[in-house]
Structure 1
Amino acid sequence: MAASASPAAAAPPPPFARALSSSTSRLFALPLPLHPTRHKSPRIAIRAPIATRSSLISDPAAAAAAAAAAAELGFDAVSEAELREKGFMGMRKTKLVCTLGPACGSAEALERLARGGMGVARLNMCHGSRDWHRGAIRALKRLNREKGFCVSVMMDTEGSQLLMADHGGVSSLKIEDGSEWLFTTEKFEGSRPFTIQVNFEGFSEGIVVGDELVIDGGMVTFEVVEKVGNDLRCKCTDSGLLLPRAKLSFWRDGVLVERNFGLPTLSTKDWADIEFGISEGVDFIAVSLVKDVDDIKHLKNYLARRSLDSIKVIAKIESLDSLKNLKEIVGASDGVMVARGDLGVQVPLEQIPAIQREITLLCRQLNKPVIVASQLLESMVEYPTPTRAEVADVSEAVRQYADALMLSAESAVGAFAEKSLSVLRMACGRMELWNREENQQKLLSQHQLAVSLPDRISEQICISAVEMANNLGVDAIFVYTKHGHMASLLSSNRPNPPIFAFTDNANARKSMNLYWGVIPIQLPLLDDMEENIKQTFNLMKSRNTVKPGDLVLVVSDSDLHGPFPAPSVFQSVQVRTIP
């Protein structure tokens, strides 16, 4: 009777109002006070630094015990702690990538990032020496062994591009409006007043007085006022902060000055860096300045000839050429990075959001992990709190179901590396909750990729498994896989419950660190699927990560039966209750 007395009450609220009413306490519980006036815009306040959060294992003895237990199961200590604290549905699905640098180079800082949710550590070969990167890689591998982490390593090639030098060891330069600077190719040690070294002899070819020099996509802008031989004297027209090894581009009358120096995508230095990465056991190689599919095929064929297929190749989309050949590049790669900073140099800024959405959707359709990168929390390089616009940007990437989000300068050289990661983690969790409560997964379209019958069966089984998992409200999906293929197919359908991917392949475990919603766990697998199920149930029960009565959807992969299974051996789907 009460409902019929009020027509307004009988009418269903609009979707957004319904989201507010049903999720307000969870989505908007964090207070949003205005920041002191040193900022131009309000920023989100963070209640506690990352090290004080209960999801972390801060006690050394407890951490050692957790690491030993996790090692037995092959379950990384951070995911296990998150599962214990938040339960299955509270586990974060979006993966977090952190760029390493001086701000987080120590073993202690790396451990704090790993405990804070870093699943992939990126090494930018534009910066630092190989000795520095070698030390970082070995420190990470040691942390993985001793602390029970599972952090993968991604090496990012420099590419053939115009770059500034490292300012003679200075971490950054503050450029003021009206100041004049000489950009030169002359080699010298240390630093000189108002002088910046450039890495390529012919950088000034075709440039005229009046052209605009843009640094790092607009961080600082100059006007060319004089050509001095092969050098350029430039006047700052838009002040800002210059970071070491920043990228240069020239504009004329609002149009990018395109010059083809005939440089290969992978330079001689890049190939030397790749050899270094191979020798140190990196898990991913991100290729900068990809122009077409041949750039990706060249590196993948090289790795295949050396039986290094376990190293996955990530294509960085950061140029007009890469956009023109987008589908072919995505199809040939093992994953994609949307490098919005460099992309914004060649594409009008207002087009970047739509391009990001298009790339993210295409990657999901082609079953390739996608990383959204560049300037996610850029203000946190200097300030302890982000702008609300930055948090909204992060949330939009999560809403688009990007597999991973990446911190660049925020973690590499920022004053608040760990706090940046904490903000990123919290923003992801909030938006994932909204996606789940609004059932956004229902809106995702499905696209058939496979041609052969076995591959088509795999696709359809995973599509059906995800629909079944969502409709039944299972607590988790367990998938048993040797190479991670079934886990990736399940991930691309973005199920509500987390995906626990059991594998006996260490390389597959590391590669799955980029798959949305997948928690890779390494342990010995048998040909007998029933024994695998019993083994994992018992091990996880012994760690109190599952309990009797939990509902689990189990998916098996035919690749467990060897590289060439019999035609009659296909995948299976079961719904099990933990005994």
Structure 2
Amino acid sequence: MMRGVSVSFGGAVGVRRPVPGTPGVRSGGRYAARTAGASATPRRPLARASSQGRRASWRVGVATPNSSVDMDVDVDTALENELKENGFRSTRRTKLVCTIGPATSGYRELEQLAQNGMNVARLNMCHGSHEWHREVIQRIRKLNQELGYSLAIMVDTEGSEVHIGDIAEPSRVDMDDRWTFTIRSLDAESVGPGPSDHPEDGAGEPGGQPEAKRPRIASVSYDGFSEDVSVGDEILVDGGMVNFRVVSLQGPDVICECIEPGILLPKANLTFRRDGVPVRARNSMLPTISAKDWLDIDFAIENEVDLIAISFVKTADTVKHLRSYLTSKCMPKQDGPGAGTRAAPGVVSKIESSDSLRNLDDIVAASDAVMVARGDLGSQIPLEDVPVVQQQITTACRRLNKPCIVASHLLRSMLEHPTPTRAEVADIADVVQQRADALMLSGESAAGLHPMKSLEVLRAVAVRTEQQQSMLGASSGGDGTEQEQISEGICSSAANLAEQLGAAAIFVYTKRGYMASLVSRCRPSCPIFAFTDTNAVRRKMNLLWGIIPFGLPLDANPEKTVERTFKLLRARDLIKEGQLVVVVSDVGPTADVIRSIQVRYVTKDGSL
């Protein structure tokens, strides 16, 4: 056993540094590695985010008193490259979520997104068949397995919102264009011109009504649509990206005229306003999780996705009901189809209605993560309230230790244009300054003309804003149980200690990801390396701010795990000689000894 100085305070904090003059220690305090019996297995070459197909994992021989043990540690390829290219303190902390659609569903396109920093791939169940989504999931899994990425997959359910049919393609809507929204079944939904609304005008004939003025038709998902709207009502598409005014009602058909032009996307949602006030339509009484949603949820479970997002969550009861269902479906089976243990997906609650805001704390507490869906939210509350409410939601998420995703309209102009507006760039920076965990692209990456450029802009603005921002400021403990308060206190102390000592990184060893989330909440300025032996936990940590998740077998003896980690990362040149690392762990044989803080110095070969 090597000898060293160990300083502890109540068994919680220890500082270990090598002592000159002891066996295996050079003068100057650097520990010389004992190589006798160590494996000569060479380390693998650096994995690059390319089509070479090398995984970002490596194997190093680790000497133990009696033998040499080979061990793997896995880290996402793109994150490893960021660490090496930018340095620890310049590595991006804010996570990036990309919606996958026709523009990005191919293998090569998915690989480009991963190279450019995508952490979570979102699949919107409003669009596409289960077969289409299954193929995308398979491609993402192939990327993870063959190229060393650790992308998480999130399925976003449709919910009980009113939306138009899955029209063939996005369509520009100009001022005064007429559209018909109908509950009738259409043989072929089209954005092309339909029959004239005023045949006596000679539309479509020489000298008649211009084709742009001819009505176009699309189906609507809600049977009571034509009964709930009135002439003069405003219909907002995707929270106001296109606005119509109802000009007439003809049985199941609602004839509208565009009053604010824009782009109409397939499956766009619709909300109503009467005299400037949102109309609480009949569909607001429908269950949050529709019959179609349950089918999509079963699909998500079958394909072992990491996260399920639920639209228009009104109360925490919906979240609890879904969690109970997921737990029952993912319980270990002894035999038959699906035998074995399957990790239950995390539940992401989308805050996009005034009902959600009334029950915000309860919903956040019941969820695994929260999404601020600003598009729909902006159609439910006054526009000037959206920035204030966004801040309230991100603050509540951080206080309750739940990841927060800010979505909708981050780079809306890049659906068509290669350069964002300056206001969009400022908006992204504001979200980063609010310390949200993740930013999400929707139509920009799914159906836009510049999906890769959109992600590059999102990433660049996030990194630049983080570089200018002071990250210190640990959160105060919550009102949990005594054990939870102890964990929170240790993690807050670890973050503050890392700041005071100028630590290169914080290492967190965790089984469930809980301690990693607590350290993340403190927003330290150094990166957080989170080690777990569960792939599902590793992928879910992709949503946590500042977390770089590693896959690593965890030994029952925490000291062995820490020593092996240092050797592996030192061999990979991810940590350097002389750096100081703060170590936090919730892994151990008993609950009495698992919560601890240690300060370690990196030696030449990673030995302790």
- Give the TM interval when normalised to the shorter protein: 0.7 to 0.9
Could you tell me which residue of structure 2 aligns to residue 12 of structure 1?
Answer: none
Cα contact 2:49–2:147 (8 A) shared by 1: no
- Residue 56 of structure 1 deviates from its aligned partner by 10
Could you tell me which residue of structure 1 aligns to residue 480 of structure 2?
Answer: 450
Could you tell me which residue of structure 2 aligns to residue 114 of structure 1?
Answer: 114
2:287 alignment partner, one of 264, 281, 287:
264
- Residue 212 of structure 1 deviates from its aligned partner by 1.2
Q: Indicate how the Cα distance of structure 1 residues 376 and 488 shifts in structure 2: closer, same or farther if over 3 A, else same.
A: same
1:325-336 aligned at under 5 Å gives the runs 325-336=359-370
- Using the alignment, how far apart are the partners of 2:410 and 2:401 within structure 1? 24
1:255 alignment partner, one of 273, 277, 283:
277
- Give the match's secondary structure for 2:548: strand
Could you tell me which residue of structure 1 aligns to residue 606 of structure 2?
Answer: none
1:207 alignment partner, one of 196, 220, 229:
229
1:305-316 aligned at under 5 Å gives the runs 305-306=328-329, 307=331, 310-316=344-350
- Residue 511 of structure 1 deviates from its aligned partner by 1.0
- Is residue 147 of structure 1 aligned with residue 147 of structure 2? yes
Q: Which amino acid aligns with 1:176?
A: D
- Give the match's secondary structure for 2:121: strand
- Is residue 574 of structure 1 aligned with residue 603 of structure 2? no
- Residue 185 of structure 1 deviates from its aligned partner by 1.3
- Residue 57 of structure 1 deviates from its aligned partner by 3.6
Moved more, 543-552 or 467-476: 543-552
Cα contact 1:209–1:225 (8 A) shared by 2: yes
- Give the match's secondary structure for 1:448: coil
- Using the alignment, how far apart are the partners of 1:482 and 1:260 within structure 2? 45
- Using the alignment, how far apart are the partners of 1:264 and 1:519 within structure 2? 38
Cα contact 2:49–2:77 (8 A) shared by 1: no
- Is residue 299 of structure 1 aligned with residue 343 of structure 2? no
Cα contact 1:67–1:147 (8 A) shared by 2: no
Equivalent residues, number: 512
Cα contact 1:303–1:309 (8 A) shared by 2: no
Cα contact 1:68–1:148 (8 A) shared by 2: no
- Residue 58 of structure 1 deviates from its aligned partner by 6.0
Q: Which amino acid aligns with 2:240?
A: G
- Using the alignment, how far apart are the partners of 1:212 and 1:555 within structure 2? 55
Could you tell me which residue of structure 2 aligns to residue 369 of structure 1?
Answer: 403
- Residue 441 of structure 1 deviates from its aligned partner by 2.4
- Using the alignment, how far apart are the partners of 1:59 and 1:273 within structure 2? 33
- Residue 200 of structure 1 deviates from its aligned partner by 1.7
Cα contact 2:152–2:306 (8 A) shared by 1: yes
- Residue 205 of structure 1 deviates from its aligned partner by 1.3
2:525 alignment partner, one of 485, 496, 513:
496
Residue-by-residue CA offset, 1:180-203 (whole Å, 9 max, x unaligned):
221111112322521111112211
Could you tell me which residue of structure 1 aligns to residue 371 of structure 2?
Answer: 337
- Residue 480 of structure 1 deviates from its aligned partner by 0.7
2:217 alignment partner, one of 189, 195, 199:
195
- Give the match's secondary structure for 2:97: strand
Cα contact 1:454–1:570 (8 A) shared by 2: no
- Give the match's secondary structure for 1:118: coil
Residue-by-residue CA offset, 1:393-444 (whole Å, 9 max, x unaligned):
0001100110000000010001111111111111011111111xxx3523x6
- Give the match's secondary structure for 2:96: strand
- Residue 361 of structure 1 deviates from its aligned partner by 0.7
- Give the match's secondary structure for 2:243: strand
- Residue 65 of structure 1 deviates from its aligned partner by 6.3
Moved more, 209-218 or 299-308: 299-308
- Is residue 553 of structure 1 aligned with residue 582 of structure 2? yes
- Using the alignment, how far apart are the partners of 2:455 and 2:59 within structure 1? 26
Q: Which amino acid aligns with 1:418?
A: M
Could you tell me which residue of structure 1 aligns to residue 28 of structure 2?
Answer: none
- Residue 445 of structure 1 deviates from its aligned partner by 4.5
1:342-361 aligned at under 5 Å gives the runs 342-361=376-395
1:392 alignment partner, one of 419, 422, 426:
426
- Give the match's secondary structure for 2:226: coil
Residue-by-residue CA offset, 1:233-275 (whole Å, 9 max, x unaligned):
1111111110000111111111111123331100000000000
Cα contact 2:527–2:546 (8 A) shared by 1: yes
- Using the alignment, how far apart are the partners of 2:317 and 2:478 within structure 1? 25
- Give the match's secondary structure for 1:314: strand
Q: Indicate how the Cα distance of structure 1 residues 109 and 56 shifts in structure 2: closer, same or farther if over 3 A, else same.
A: farther
Could you tell me which residue of structure 1 aligns to residue 438 of structure 2?
Answer: 404
- Using the alignment, how far apart are the partners of 2:594 and 2:131 within structure 1? 47
- Residue 96 of structure 1 deviates from its aligned partner by 0.4
1:160-239 aligned at under 5 Å gives the runs 160-167=160-167, 169=168, 171-190=169-188, 191=190, 193=193, 194-239=216-261
Cα contact 1:182–1:195 (8 A) shared by 2: yes
- Using the alignment, how far apart are the partners of 2:412 and 2:572 within structure 1? 39
- Using the alignment, how far apart are the partners of 2:345 and 2:322 within structure 1? 10
1:379 alignment partner, one of 409, 413, 420:
413
- Give the match's secondary structure for 1:538: helix
- Using the alignment, how far apart are the partners of 2:343 and 2:72 within structure 1? 27
- Using the alignment, how far apart are the partners of 1:252 and 1:389 within structure 2? 29
Structure 1 length as normaliser, TM-score?
0.86
Cα contact 1:162–1:200 (8 A) shared by 2: yes
2:573 alignment partner, one of 544, 556, 562:
544
Cα contact 2:47–2:55 (8 A) shared by 1: no
- Using the alignment, how far apart are the partners of 1:56 and 1:254 within structure 2? 56
Structure 1 or 2: more helix by fraction: 1
- Give the match's secondary structure for 1:73: strand
- Using the alignment, how far apart are the partners of 1:66 and 1:302 within structure 2? 35
Q: Which amino acid aligns with 2:100?
A: L
Cα contact 1:411–1:417 (8 A) shared by 2: yes
Residue-by-residue CA offset, 1:156-193 (whole Å, 9 max, x unaligned):
000011110122x2x21111211222111111232252
Could you tell me which residue of structure 2 aligns to residue 416 of structure 1?
Answer: 450
- Using the alignment, how far apart are the partners of 1:260 and 1:456 within structure 2? 44
Identity of aligned residues (%): 49
- Give the match's secondary structure for 1:154: strand
- Residue 68 of structure 1 deviates from its aligned partner by 6.4
- Give the match's secondary structure for 1:205: helix
1:441 alignment partner, one of 462, 472, 478:
472
- Using the alignment, how far apart are the partners of 1:445 and 1:544 within structure 2? 32
- Using the alignment, how far apart are the partners of 2:319 and 2:572 within structure 1? 42
- Residue 488 of structure 1 deviates from its aligned partner by 0.5
Cα contact 2:104–2:445 (8 A) shared by 1: yes
- Using the alignment, how far apart are the partners of 1:230 and 1:58 within structure 2? 53
Could you tell me which residue of structure 1 aligns to residue 80 of structure 2?
Answer: 80
- Using the alignment, how far apart are the partners of 1:59 and 1:233 within structure 2? 51
- Using the alignment, how far apart are the partners of 2:59 and 2:113 within structure 1? 21
Structure 1: which 5+ runs fail to align? 1-54
Cα contact 2:309–2:350 (8 A) shared by 1: yes
Structure 2: which 5+ runs fail to align? 1-45, 61-70, 194-215, 332-341, 604-608
- Residue 569 of structure 1 deviates from its aligned partner by 2.5
Q: Quick check: which has more Rg, 1 or 2?
A: 2
Q: Indicate how the Cα distance of structure 1 residues 65 and 198 shifts in structure 2: closer, same or farther if over 3 A, else same.
A: closer
Q: Which amino acid aligns with 1:574?
A: Q
